[in-house]
Amino acid sequence: TATLGRHGDLAGKHVVITAGGTQEPIDPVRYVGNRSSGKMGYSLAREARDRGAHVILITGSATLPPPYGVELHRVETAIQMRDAVLRFITAADVLIMSAAVADFRPAQVAAQKIKKTGGQSGTQEKSEHGNDGGLTLHMVRNPDILQEVAEVVDKASQHQRLVRVGFAAETENLIAYAQQKLVQKHLDLLVANDVSRSDSGFGSDTNKVFIFHANGSMEDLPVMPKTDVAAAIFQRIVPLLGTT
């Protein structure tokens, strides 16, 4: 894809953005998913494109039209998203993880559709069907993508500067959790929103966010359309580019 704008404040910059939710398969017809709509990530992709960046949008589940002039890569699982992110950041100046990455995935993906009543089918070797007629799914941890990026970037000297931005959706203790994530994941910025509010987060067109900076400062932004939140985020990213 050609770079559209050549005169914006992100002209010549490569921006990788993740959006939407991951889907973790249970069997050939079912998955564990989440409520992420992808709206925030897609807004970020359009904003970066309009500012002249070359944009790679790595998208999980989202039923939004692909933004024009953006390189789109579709993934399903957290592991596929991790692999795509690690591949594309080698040439990137900015990584924004706005995707809702599943923390856990089913330990095994059943080869055949899981039946309501277990036991008899030879393919359901280790039946998770309980005596109560229920089913227990065993889940294992997914890789933490930003954590892996931190390890790669901090080791490799060719990554002189990759501006890293994370998102955090919280329902309680927002400030404490957000500050902890910023530090643990070695982020430049962390955008946090309180998803217990109806005007913020999943599916909404508006968002009320706090932006945490690596120097410890915090900004409390008013409720805004997600397109304006995207602009506010890039306003803060641009000055971080080209510094070391």
Asked if residues 187 and 162 have their Cβ atoms less than 8 Å apart, the reply is no
The reply to whether 204 sits near ligand CTP by the rule CB under 6 A is no
Binding site residue list: 103, 113, 143-146, 167, 181, 185
Q: Is 128 in the site for ligand CTP (CB under 6 A)?
A: no
Cα dihedral value 157, 162, 167, 173, nearest 10 = 50
193 is catalytic: no
Should residue 144 be labelled a site residue for ligand CTP when binding is judged by CB under 6 A?
yes
Which CB, 103 or 199, lies closer to Ca ion?
103
Our CB check for ligand CTP shows the closer of 109 and 150 to be 150
Nearer to ligand CTP, 41 or 52 (CB): 41
CA distances (Å), origin 199, targets 47, 125, 192, 204, 207:
21, 46, 14, 6, 6
SS3 106: strand
CB of 144 to Ca ion, least distance (A): 8
- Check binding of 114 to ligand CTP (CB under 6 A): no
What is the amino acid identity at position 182?
A: L
CA distance 73 to 68: 13
Q: Looking at 21, 60, 166, 201, which residue binds ligand CTP (CB under 6 A)?
A: 166
Catalytic residues: 34
